Amino acid sequence: MSVRVTVRGRSLRLRGLRKPPTGVLAILLVFGPGLIAATAGDDAGGIATYSQVGAKYGYDLLWVLAVITVSLALVQETCARLGAATGRGLLDLVRERFGIGWALFAVGVVLLANGGVVVTEFVGIAAAAELFGITRYLAVPVTALLIWYLVIQGSYASVERVFLAMALVFFAYPAAAILGHPDWGAVARGAFIPTVQTDPDYLLLLVGLIGTTITPYMQLFQQSAIVEKGVPRRQYGPERADAYLGSVFGNIIAAFIVIATGATLHAAGITDIQTASDAAQALQPLVGDAAQALFAVGLLGASLLAAGVLPLATAYSVAEAFGFRKGVDLDFRRAPVFVGIFSALIALGAAVALIPNLPLIPLLVGIQVLNGMLLPVILIFLLLLINDRRLVGSLKNGLLYNVLSWGTVVLVTIAVVCLLGSQFLSALGVLGGG
């Protein structure tokens, strides 16, 4: 016997069930763009940043993750709500509401924020493959072709299922953290007792932490995916749950990366970790091959997921900004700009990742810092649109949402200003590096 249920705007037939699903199965059916976007944020650059945080400062910055989990959930849910209310992507709305000039500015921000990140995903694929003894000159082209074929030849439903399956690899990080035998009392203190330092390195990683946790492409993908799925506002409830649960899951995984490296590398005095592969290699002599393999598996899966999501989000955004046709279900003939941008970003990212002796030290974390600096621009556009009753009607922000959301913009902006100020003072010799 089968039961037909409606999930995220789609009618599904579940065989062997006598009544609609409840409990864990009902929860699993909710997951979609929210989980994909949030876990994609734990990408190669994110893992490198979280590893640096754990190695250099132990658990001291876990409280930042706890705070911005709330901000991330609010931002992602707002994007989902805006997509369900309007049936249009973020940059499409920016063009209509603020004009082509602001749309061009937003496109520039997106391309600047996303361009470098695409490269880091293929760098992550290369690094993870080499940890398993596979040359990057085989791994990178093969995975680039597989990702391109999946998106170009698949339907949205099939692409979403593959992306959701990739998210399972993130369970490797809690396992790696447990193998590190952390002091859970110290972990709790780091998560709930804020500590602030003024040295430039601390502020750099603080902004990088924000930039890799609330990344602009995550918001763009979330809203565009909701639009492509055709979620109506009357069936928006599951999408809200997906955005909240996905954000919490993504940041729990990030916390476990910090805990794993804090319990091992920081405790052993190893603070100079520049890439995620460095962290995986450094774990091996401290806690054995299992932890290193788990870290490498997580890095590979994270990089694969983000290497598909990020070019897709960018292609959605640019096509929306100029009113071109877009969608995973369309081919090059029907959506040449959308497919062309996606293909070009895949090719560019893979090609740059194959350059010998690529200077990775400033690239991975530096890109996350750049994302943190550009994040307020995207958030301001988002909040102005979600508060326009003409666009969203009853789905506009309430008072609490506005206070917390605008508070996020203010806090991110303050962090960026403090970072720039500390870098300036450091250059003058007033502050020393940490």
Percent of the chain with pLDDT over 70: 81
Q: Which domains does the chain have, with CATH numbers?
A: 31-427 (1.20.1740.10)
pLDDT, position 186? 93
Q: Report yes or no: 109 and 374 within 8 Å, Cβ to Cβ.
A: yes
Residue 16 has pLDDT above 80, yes or no: no
Contacts of 234 (CB under 8 A, 6+ apart): none
pLDDT, position 367? 67
The tokens describing 17, both together, are 């069930």
* Rounded mean pLDDT, 27-42: 68
Question: How far from 66 is each of 70, 187, 209, 322, 324, CA to CA, in Å?
Answer: 7, 12, 12, 37, 39
Question: How far from 266 is each of 58, 59, 189, 254, 362, CA to CA, in Å?
Answer: 6, 9, 16, 16, 21
pLDDT digits (tens, 9 = 90+) for 268-277: 887 777 666 6
pLDDT, position 428? 59
Percent of the chain with pLDDT over 90: 14
* Rounded mean pLDDT, 281-307: 73
pLDDT, position 31? 64
Rounded to whole angstroms, how far apart are CA atoms 30 and 74? 18
Q: Report yes or no: 60 and 397 within 8 Å, Cβ to Cβ.
A: no
pLDDT, position 3? 42
pLDDT, position 190? 92
Rounded to whole angstroms, how far apart are CA atoms 11 and 188? 43
Number of H helices and E strands in the chain, helices first, is 19, 2
pLDDT, position 23? 44
pLDDT, position 275? 62
* Rounded mean pLDDT, 319-336: 84
- pTM of this prediction exceeds 0.75: yes
pLDDT, position 155? 72
Residue 364 has pLDDT above 70, yes or no: no
Rounded to whole angstroms, how far apart are CA atoms 20 and 14? 8
Mean pLDDT estimate for the chain: 79
Residue 288 has pLDDT above 70, yes or no: no
* Rounded mean pLDDT, 116-122: 82
pLDDT, position 433? 45
Rounded to whole angstroms, how far apart are CA atoms 317 and 334? 17
* Rounded mean pLDDT, 292-305: 78
Q: Which residues of 193-208 are buried (b: 16+ CB within 10 A; e: fewer)?
A: eeeeeeebbbbbbbbb
* Rounded mean pLDDT, 242-263: 89
pLDDT, position 346? 92
* Rounded mean pLDDT, 410-434: 64
Q: How confident is the model at residue 283 (pLDDT cuts 50, 70, 90)?
A: low
Q: How confident is the model at residue 386 (pLDDT cuts 50, 70, 90)?
A: very high
Residue 199 has pLDDT above 90, yes or no: no
pLDDT digits (tens, 9 = 90+) for 67-100: 889 988 998 899 889 988 898 888 889 888 888 8
